[in-house]
């Protein structure tokens, strides 16, 4: 703990007790001491007492302070990180080594592609996770997501959702409060450029000039720098020569500003060529950075001027600039105060880079929208380690697991574990082929985790090469083809069933022809009977062709045969019975039986007399634990007419021999005074569709 000053009161003593020192950030201002006390209250609740890992808080504070360019906050938290001070509430806090902390200063800042990849991984997290370990890939993703949110970049809204999903609502709110405190501290430090570095930080930067540059974006302003030696004539001439050579560079603009007034006082030809302004406008002091800066960029530019006043340096930073014709151009600036109130800035036109970046962002957005809308899985793997770089949301619907499940370990085993064991070697082989520059396609099976169903998938993989032809990535599309495989299997079944039916149908036709010939008295009689029976068979086959799986409606089957004989429902016949559907094979036999009974009624029975009527009823009957379908054919209106059994023709053979043989029927025929009565008893479980 640092030595307490005599003038320090209870407020300062509390801070020293918590932090091990008294940072200048919290030293009360004489004009409004309460404001600093409020800042300290925010620091305690949102920073010191926030239930986040202490080491993580300091690493995040260092990372975000680099983004804001706040030298004071950056150096203070860097010092805490390496053990200068005691901000952690627990004694178990282990400071980082100087090398570990220095490595944090080298992490990329606000790289759109890096942030987008990090957000994709966080969005794939299914259940909230803990704060990752320091220097892990998970921590890098968290730092990138927090960066996008902290600086309110285009990805800020997406970052908020990703952080909330990955780390849970309570931890997200704690993290947000911590970042809010950091923003407030940065703003406070920026609003007080007179704020000097704390003594321990000052000693650290003096002992390590390279670290001082990293921490303050240049040589620190707050420690004593030796005055530059005055060059002699030769030195002056050499310096002037070097300056002249710099001004002659035609790709970099060199600007000289009176940074107090903000007026451009000189520039090289390259700058005038970039912007269209003239030396006359400079000579007339008509150009200021405010005039040349679009309104939405003036606040950030003013912040750079504040940075200049505190550090003597400015940038590097990027912004849009007005050309003389009113068009905008993207430029990158960096400069420093050369000691006499003059700011020298180097300016580079970065329009092409910005257009390229915008095109890449648009392309990435379109690709992501395409991937998120696709019902197929789109994926990209790194060719070296085979780690997923992109995995579209359709993966979760097809495989039945969150993407985070396979974004672990080697990124291969968690994926192949979802497959049937015998298909796994082929999957690995496919990736090896793509690494060798080959395209590949194969089918495999998975067990979908949500319902345990076996699904057939087809994967097409292809190499993605760089300009030299080397395979850098492997891309692929995975499609659920279960429906296609099922359709193919069903088609094979239907083809086999068709072949079977054709053979049976030909056998039935041969039997019809043979028995019709045996029972016919003439060629005309043979042709008439044969045509009727073939027509009956044809009607049944037409229904089979339309929907071989659905079965036949028994009522329609019987009615069709009666209507074919010109019988009229309600006047000459009636149907009564439950709605039943029968299988195709049984339909052929029952349909022919109904045809023969209808033909017999038309030639010899009820349909030959004016008052003749046919009543067909069917029912399900259970006897001795066996269900039967019973069809009763009852003819009436024949009283007074002679009833005799016709000779044994095809109809008799069909009812008494073929029907029992084909479908296990029991047929009883009786010739009563009112007409023929025929009962057909069939095994219900064998002939009915379920």
Secondary structure class of 288 (helix, strand, coil): strand
CA distances from 616 to 167, 241, 466, 572, 639 (A): 73, 119, 80, 11, 19
CA distances from 524 to 521, 527, 566, 604, 649 (A): 8, 5, 21, 18, 16
Look at residues 181, 239, 205 and name the one whose alpha carbon lies nearest to residue 84. 205
Inter-residue contact 28 to 20 (CB < 8 Å): no
φ/ψ (deg, to 5) at 673: -55, -35
CA distance 644 to 282: 129
Question: Quick one: pLDDT at residue 92?
Answer: 66
Mention every residue, 6+ apart, whose C-beta is less than 8 A from residue 395.
Answer: 377, 379, 403, 406, 478
Kindly tell me if the per-residue pLDDT of 675 is higher than 60: yes
Inter-residue contact 412 to 386 (CB < 8 Å): yes
Q: How far apart are the first and last CA of the chain?
A: 86
Positive/negative CA dihedral, 412, 416, 421, 427: negative
Positive/negative CA dihedral, 92, 95, 96, 102: positive
- The DSSP annotation for 420-458 comes to -GGGHHHHHHHHHHHHTT--EEEEEEEE-TTT--EEEEE
Inter-residue contact 533 to 516 (CB < 8 Å): yes
Secondary structure class of 333 (helix, strand, coil): strand
Question: Quick one: pLDDT at residue 213?
Answer: 73
% of the chain at pLDDT higher than 90:
33
Question: Quick one: pLDDT at residue 433?
Answer: 92
φ/ψ (deg, to 5) at 357: -60, -40
φ/ψ (deg, to 5) at 333: -120, 150
Averaged over 659-678, what is the pLDDT?
88
Count the neighbouring beta carbons within 10 Å of the beta carbon of residue 298. 13
Question: Quick one: pLDDT at residue 217?
Answer: 44
Say what the pTM is. 0.41
Mention every residue, 6+ apart, whose C-beta is less than 8 A from residue 445.
Answer: 419, 420, 423, 454, 455, 456, 457
Give the pLDDT confidence of 206-235 residue by residue, as tens digits.
777 778 777 764 333 333 333 333 444 444
Look at residues 674, 678, 676 and name the one whose alpha carbon lies nearest to residue 655. 678
Question: Quick one: pLDDT at residue 489?
Answer: 83
Q: Which of 238-247, 299-308, 453-462, 667-676 has the highest mean pLDDT?
A: 453-462
Q: Which of 37-51, 193-207, 318-332 has the lowest mean pLDDT?
A: 193-207
CA distances from 472 to 389, 464, 467, 469, 538 (A): 12, 6, 10, 9, 64
CA distances from 2 to 21, 78, 200, 295 (A): 5, 18, 10, 46
Question: Quick one: pLDDT at residue 192?
Answer: 83
Tokens in use for 63?
């990372």
CA distance 309 to 331: 22
Query: In the structure, what pLDDT confidence band is assigned to residue 592 with cuts at 50, 70 and 90?
Result: confident
Using the structure block, give the residue that is written with the tokens 């627990």: 90
Using the structure block, give the residue that is written with the tokens 């024949």: 638
Cis peptide preceding 316, ω within 30 of 0: yes
Query: In the structure, what pLDDT confidence band is assigned to residue 121 with cuts at 50, 70 and 90?
Result: very high
φ/ψ (deg, to 5) at 547: -155, 85
Inter-residue contact 342 to 265 (CB < 8 Å): yes
Distance of CA 631 to the CA centre of its chain: 60
Query: In the structure, what pLDDT confidence band is assigned to residue 345 with cuts at 50, 70 and 90?
Result: confident
Give the pLDDT confidence of 123-152 residue by residue, as tens digits.
999 899 999 999 999 999 999 999 888 887
CA distance 584 to 54: 77
Tokens in use for 57?
């808080």
- The DSSP annotation for 501-555 comes to HHHHHHHHHHHHHHHHHHH-SSHHHHHHHHHHHHHHHHHHHHHHHH-TTT-EEHH
Q: Which residues pair with 440 in a beta bridge?
A: 461
Averaged over 469-478, what is the pLDDT?
92
Taking phi over 0 as left and psi of -120 to 50 as alpha, with beta for the rest, 400 belongs to left
Inter-residue contact 165 to 141 (CB < 8 Å): no
Using the structure block, give the residue that is written with the tokens 């915008």: 358
Number of continuous H segments (helices) and E segments (strands) in the chain: 27, 17
Distance of CA 446 to the CA centre of its chain: 20
Q: Which helix H or strand E contains 320, and what residues bound it?
A: strand 313-322
Inter-residue contact 457 to 442 (CB < 8 Å): no
Give the pLDDT confidence of 81-113 residue by residue, as tens digits.
998 988 876 666 788 998 898 888 888 776 788
Inter-residue contact 512 to 534 (CB < 8 Å): yes
Kindly tell me if the per-residue pLDDT of 576 is higher than 60: yes
Mention every residue, 6+ apart, whose C-beta is less than 8 A from residue 527.
Answer: none
Secondary structure class of 2 (helix, strand, coil): coil
Question: Quick one: pLDDT at residue 231?
Answer: 42
Mean pLDDT over each residue of the chain, to the nearest integer:
83
CA distance 133 to 139: 6
Q: Which residues pair with 446 in a beta bridge?
A: 419, 455
* Torsion on CA atoms 398, 399, 405, 409, rounded to nearest 10: -110
Q: Pick 624 or 430 by higher pLDDT.
A: 430
CA distance 178 to 137: 22
CA distances from 61 to 104, 135, 186 (A): 11, 15, 10
Give the pLDDT confidence of 620-659 residue by residue, as tens digits.
998 878 899 999 999 998 887 765 555 556 677 778 877 8
């Amino acid at each position: 703990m640092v030595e307490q000053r005599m003038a320090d009161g209870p407020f300062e003593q509390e801070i020293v007790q918590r932090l091990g020192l008294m940072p200048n950030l919290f030293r009360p201002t004489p004009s409004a001491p309460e404001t600093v006390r409020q800042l300290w209250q925010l620091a305690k609740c949102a920073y010191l007492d926030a239930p986040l890992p202490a080491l993580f808080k300091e690493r995040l504070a260092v990372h975000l302070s680099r983004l804001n360019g706040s030298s004071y906050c950056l150096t203070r938290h860097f010092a805490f990180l390496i053990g200068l001070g005691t901000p952690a509430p627990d004694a178990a806090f282990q400071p980082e080594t100087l090398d570990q902390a220095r490595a944090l200063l080298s992490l990329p800042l606000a790289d759109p592609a890096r942030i987008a990849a990090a957000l994709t991984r966080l969005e794939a997290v299914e259940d909230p996770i803990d704060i990752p370990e320091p220097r892990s890939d998970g921590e890098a993703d968290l730092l990138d997501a927090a960066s996008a949110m902290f600086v309110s970049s285009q990805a800020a809204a997406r970052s908020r959702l990703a952080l909330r999903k990955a780390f849970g609502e309570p931890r997200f709110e704690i993290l947000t409060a911590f970042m809010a405190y950091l923003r407030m501290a940065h703003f406070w430090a920026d609003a007080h450029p007179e704020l000097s570095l704390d003594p321990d930080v000052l000693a650290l930067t003096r002992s390590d000039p390279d670290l001082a540059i990293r921490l303050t974006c240049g040589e620190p302003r707050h420690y004593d720098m030796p005055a530059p030696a005055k060059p002699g004539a030769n030195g002056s001439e050499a310096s002037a020569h070097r300056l002249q050579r710099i001004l002659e560079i035609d790709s970099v603009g060199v600007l000289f500003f009176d940074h107090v007034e903000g007026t451009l006082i000189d520039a090289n030809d390259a700058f005038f060529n970039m912007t269209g302004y003239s030396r006359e406008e400079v000579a007339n002091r008509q150009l200021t950075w405010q005039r040349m800066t679009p309104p939405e960029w003036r606040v950030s530019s003013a912040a750079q001027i504040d940075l200049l006043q505190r550090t003597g340096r400015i940038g590097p930073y990027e912004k849009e600039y007005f050309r003389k014709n009113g068009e905008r151009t993207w430029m990158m600036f960096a400069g420093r105060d050369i000691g006499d109130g003059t700011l020298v800035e180097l300016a580079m036109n970065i329009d092409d880079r910005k257009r390229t970046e915008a095109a890449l962002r648009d392309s990435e957005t379109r690709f992501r929208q395409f991937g998120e809308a696709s019902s197929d899985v789109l994926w990209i793997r790194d060719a070296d380690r085979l780690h997923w770089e992109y995995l579209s949301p359709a993966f979760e619907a097809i495989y039945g697991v969150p993407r985070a499940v396979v974004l672990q370990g080697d990124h291969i085993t968690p994926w192949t574990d979802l497959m049937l064991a015998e298909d796994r070697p082929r999957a690995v082989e496919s990736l090896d082929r793509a690494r060798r520059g080959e395209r590949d396609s194969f089918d495999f099976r998975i067990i979908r985790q949500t319902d345990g169903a076996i699904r057939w998938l087809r994967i097409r993989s292809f190499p993605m090469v760089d300009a030299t032809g080397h395979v850098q990535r492997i891309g692929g599309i995975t499609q659920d083809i279960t429906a296609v495989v099922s359709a193919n299997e069903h088609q094979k079944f239907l083809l086999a069933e068709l072949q079977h039916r054709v053979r049976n149908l030909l056998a039935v036709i041969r039997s019809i022809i043979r028995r019709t010939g045996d029972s016919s008295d003439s060629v005309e009689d043979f042709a008439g009977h044969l045509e009727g029976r073939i027509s009956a068979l044809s009607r049944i086959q037409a229904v089979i062709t339309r929907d071989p799986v659905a079965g036949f409606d028994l009522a329609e089957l019987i009615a069709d045969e009666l209507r074919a004989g010109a019988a009229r429902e309600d006047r000459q016949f009636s149907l009564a019975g439950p709605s039943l559907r029968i299988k195709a094979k049984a339909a052929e036999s029952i349909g022919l039986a109904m045809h023969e009974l209808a033909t017999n009624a038309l030639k010899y029975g009820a349909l030959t007399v004016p008052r003749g009527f046919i009543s067909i009823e069917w029912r399900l009957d259970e006897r001795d634990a066996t269900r039967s379908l019973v069809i009763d054919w009852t003819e009436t209106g024949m009283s007074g007419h002679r009833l005799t059994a016709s000779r044994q023709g095809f109809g008799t053979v069909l009812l008494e021999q073929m029907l029992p043989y084909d479908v296990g029927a029991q047929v009883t025929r009786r010739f009563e005074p009112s007409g023929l009565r025929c009962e057909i008893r069939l095994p219900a479980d064998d002939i009915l569709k379920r």
